[in-house]
Structure 1
Amino acid sequence: MNPLSPSVPTPRTSLLDGFSLEMTGKDVPGLEEAAHLIPPGTRINVTFLGNEDARMRLGAARAVKRLGFRPVPHISARRLGSRADFEDFLGGLRADAAHTDVFAVGGDPARPEGPYPDSLSLIESGLLSAYGVRHIGMAGYPEGHPAIASDVLWAALRKKCAAVADQGLGADVITQFGFDAGPVLDWIERVRGEGITLPVRVGVPGPAGVRRLMGYATRFGVGTSASIARKYGLSLTNLMGTAGPDRFLHALAEGYDQGRHGEVRIHFYTFGGLRATSEWVAGAGPGARS
């Protein structure tokens, strides 16, 4: 049993095979501490935050590579001030052999700081493939986006998939995290109905404090009604508590049908730290001991 959710057995599901993780540029010490718990070759995304500079981002990607994992640096379109900034970052990744996989995202600023308004503009620039990128991650929003209409999100996803295919690049879709497996599975089924066959990595928060999870949910427009909170295992009356993804992953595994949903994996947002998430996965994977 997982001590974070004593009423729910730790899920052992093949969806955890090939899971991926996410870290910030400041998380290198945490990655070094957790490295022995993480399978070699694991994909680790490195975020592109406004309070971190290119040197820190490149250093984190370099650390991921050095420790035997697969770096997936984020590139935030609206945070790039110029084409030169974009090329400098790509050149730095290539110099460190951390350039083959990236995650292209629009980013938080309401107004672009340079010539790239969204992730599609990064892909269509041709610079990613020119600098040796071979696989591009793109964002998916099962519960929508607080600032972007649903029809715009779907149109953008279709265009990005077409642009990636035209360039002969590999790709996958990583979803925003959520607390309710139902909308996620429904969204993946619609993705397949749109003719998109790319692998989908479902965003899941690793074990973290309830207050922190609720804060991130508010920031990113994730549903947190009382019923959804109970379903996930969050206690809105005990914000000092901690919650893990056990219930969510049980529901996801129970509802998952490969024929309808295609290839699905898990992407962990490590809000509670890389070690806490890595320890949880080490005890939850299909090969874990009882």
Structure 2
Amino acid sequence: MRNKISNRQTLVRLLEQARYEVLPTASTEEKVLANVPRDVTVTVTASPGKGLEATFDLAERLTGHGYAVVPHVAARMVRDRAELAEICDRLTGKGISRVFVPGGDAEAAGDYPDALSLLEDLGELGRPFAQVGITGYPESHPTIHDDLTVQSMWDKRRYATHVVSNLTFDPDVIRDWVHRMRGRGITMPLLLGIPGPVERTKLLAMATKIGVGESTRFLAKHKGTFARLAAPGGFTGERFLEKCAPTLGEPTALVEGLHVFTFNQIAETEAWRQDLLSRLR
């Protein structure tokens, strides 16, 4: 009984600290305003097809509405340190103090072949952002060996404040990865990446409309994951979270919250979160 209570408390804490990843489309601002409380952090993806301008424009507008917003600054989409300095001035000038720095799917536009090289330049520019997130890979990366993805987090630890995990549907994978990461000495807090409730036809339409970007790349690279998400009835993650709760509740795991990939099914995601919170409390 004590374990069940502890697991419930863990899930409530993580759901209360959930943040939503959204895609910068024409309707996103309206959906966020209509459905997302101001105390929920919103992250805005970057994709080669839309460019960084769409990401920053939406981030600035949502910040103006009172949200804490985390724009993705995809390293390979930034030309050089001069452009990076302009981006920093632009975002901080609008009150944005958090960014997420992935490598990105685009071919390198200039001086940054990976996230670490851009993070190093952010350091040289005086660390203008209070919070800087980096990617973690519980599942094997399609092109990078597991040892290198863990080493990469270690290399970035001097420049980042937290890790955001990519998706997996296997609680055992999460347990082993968290233990391995912490055993390696990576002590940054973790946000666990999970999908929100996904309805098949909407997911397919969104994937077609957006293309393979920061939050949809696994649809092309991980067919098994796509099959799980696109199955009739969708996927909410509730059972997955319940199975992960013992790991997520470990003090040494340092899991601070959830990073929910909404695929712009924003109303459905917030309804799911509120419903689950009401049943757990």
TM-score, normalised with respect to structure 2: 0.81
Tell me the distance in 2 between the aligned counterparts of 1:283 and 1:129. 43
Deviation at 1:119, TM superposition (A): 1.0
Alignment correspondent of 1:142: 138
Tell me the distance in 2 between the aligned counterparts of 1:241 and 1:64. 31
- Cα 1:51/1:255, change in 2 over 3 Å: same
Give 2:82's aligned amino acid. A
Deviation at 1:171, TM superposition (A): 0.7
CA contact (8 A) 1:72 1:102 kept: yes
Tell me the distance in 1 between the aligned counterparts of 2:58 and 2:115. 22
Counterpart secondary structure, 2:259? strand
Q: In the alignment, which of 98, 114, 119 is matched to residue 123 of structure 1?
A: 119
Alignment correspondent of 1:8: none
Residues 1:200 and 2:190 aligned together = yes
Deviation at 1:56, TM superposition (A): 2.0
Tell me the distance in 1 between the aligned counterparts of 2:223 and 2:150. 18
- Cα 1:278/1:129, change in 2 over 3 Å: farther
CA contact (8 A) 1:13 1:253 kept: no
Q: Which runs of 5+ in 1 are unaligned?
A: 1-10, 165-169
Tell me the distance in 1 between the aligned counterparts of 2:91 and 2:11. 35
Residues 1:252 and 2:244 aligned together = yes
Q: What is the Cα-based RMSD across aligned positions, in Å?
A: 2.8
Deviation at 1:96, TM superposition (A): 1.4
Residues 1:45 and 2:43 aligned together = yes
Residues 1:133 and 2:134 aligned together = no
Query: Where do residues 1-290 of structure 1 align in structure 2 (5 Å cutoff)?
Result: 13-26=12-25, 29-35=27-33, 37-98=35-96, 100-109=97-106, 111-126=107-122, 130=126, 132-161=128-157, 163-164=158-159, 171-210=161-200, 212=203, 216=216, 217-221=218-222, 224=225, 229=228, 239-271=231-263, 273-285=265-277
CA contact (8 A) 1:80 1:113 kept: yes
Counterpart secondary structure, 1:201? strand
Tell me the distance in 1 between the aligned counterparts of 2:223 and 2:135. 15
Larger fraction in helix: 2
Give 2:235's aligned amino acid. A
CA contact (8 A) 1:177 1:204 kept: yes
Counterpart secondary structure, 1:251? helix
Deviation at 1:189, TM superposition (A): 1.4
Tell me the distance in 1 between the aligned counterparts of 2:11 and 2:184. 30
CA contact (8 A) 2:21 2:262 kept: yes
- Cα 1:13/1:223, change in 2 over 3 Å: farther
Question: 1:24-78 CA deviation, whole Å, 9 max, x = no partner?
Answer: 2216x33433435433232211111112234322221112212221111111111
Tell me the distance in 1 between the aligned counterparts of 2:112 and 2:143. 18
Tell me the distance in 1 between the aligned counterparts of 2:124 and 2:52. 17
TM-score, normalised with respect to structure 1: 0.79
Q: Aligned pairs, how many?
A: 260
CA contact (8 A) 2:171 2:243 kept: yes
Tell me the distance in 1 between the aligned counterparts of 2:224 and 2:135. 18
Give 2:148's aligned amino acid. V
Tell me the distance in 1 between the aligned counterparts of 2:130 and 2:13. 26
Give 2:275's aligned amino acid. G
CA contact (8 A) 1:37 1:282 kept: no
Tell me the distance in 2 between the aligned counterparts of 1:181 and 1:289. 20
Shift >6 Å, 4+ stretches: none
Counterpart secondary structure, 2:269? helix
Question: 1:245-281 CA deviation, whole Å, 9 max, x = no partner?
Answer: 1111111224433234223411100125112111211
